[in-house]
Amino acid sequence: MKDKLETILKIPTIQSVKKVTLTKELEAKIPEMMIAKIKKGYKKVNAYSITYRSNGHNVAGYIVESKNVKENSPCIIRNRGGSKHFGGIVMGNIFVDMARLAEQGYIVFASQYSGGPGSEGKDDFGGEVTLNDVLNLKKIINKYPGADSKNVAMMGCSRGGMMTYRALAEVKWIKAAVVGAGLTDEISAVEFREGWKDHQVKMYGGTKKEQVKRSAVCWPEKFSKKTPILIMHGTADWRVSVKDSINLSSKLVDEKVPHRLVIFEGGDHGLSEYRRDIDQMTIEWLERFLKNKEKMPDLKLHGK
């Protein structure tokens, strides 16, 4: 283990690394309903907390991999939701959500973003700063032992979905993407969600220009036609309107961007009523386009 930590520490941009251990003190802070799931994941994966350089300051993040990790393992960048400390990565995310992916043979990387728990800087909620925090994880993947740096997917829910959309419009190396209840329209969001305008003003000024920058519905033409996207959303989501994902999907159809939109009847923001379905669809999507490198579907009008 010491050798692994020393190897990780040699990666450019990484400033510190340590293995995440489930101490009695940490256990005492975890909700009782989560303990069993977290302990199960803890036995199957190795998790490392890191700080890395991004935008000229230190940002906190995590790496999770199977204890039986193989060479040339495909990688996933998982973008957290929320803002600042709200929605930050916690033990449940590491040893349940990220561990579930690691058990499937992926090495999972995640950022707390600037201004988040353990990070320096300011959270600009999907602006250039936090977008760089996400994209700079690729520099770590490029040097990470056992990682297939040419086979990287990205995923995220809520704000993490917005981060994923922004990254998809910025770079071409993402091989597949999965988004749950992603923010796609910061312009109409102020009418849908009470108090959201105040949040926008506090996080990034709330100007029309900055709203557009964070609204994928405004720039569907920027998406790569070689990156398939799985979009999932619930009809009972009070935080992000399901219509936002429907509107984005309509525009992606026009642009012939490969994607699948799945609407869950009565699903809340976290799609908590459909966790088993969500997990299965996610794994199957990643298997198809990341592991098996399935050919892109034919989006031209065809058939009898």
Whether the Cβ atoms of residue 134 and residue 156 lie closer than 8 Å to each other = no
54 bridge partner residues: 57
List pLDDT tens digits, range 199-250.
999 999 999 999 999 999 999 999 999 999 999 999 999 999 999 999 999 9
CA of 161: how far to CAs of 13, 31, 229, in Å? 25, 26, 11
List pLDDT tens digits, range 15-69.
999 999 988 888 887 888 889 999 999 999 999 999 999 999 999 999 999 999 9
Percent of the chain at pLDDT above 70? Answer: 100
Q: What is the mean pLDDT of residues 80-86?
A: 97
Average pLDDT, the chain: 96
Whether the Cβ atoms of residue 138 and residue 152 lie closer than 8 Å to each other = yes
List pLDDT tens digits, range 96-109.
999 999 999 999 99
Q: What is the CATH number of domain 1-148?
A: 3.40.50.1820
Q: What is the CATH number of domain 158-294?
A: 3.40.50.1820
| Residue boundaries of the structural domains of the chain | 1-148, 158-294
| pLDDT reported for residue 193 | 96
How far apart (Å, rounded) are the C-alpha atoms in residues 116 and 86?
8
Note whether 1-148 and 158-294 share their fold.
yes
pLDDT at 1 over 90: no
Q: What is the mean pLDDT of residues 112-128?
A: 98
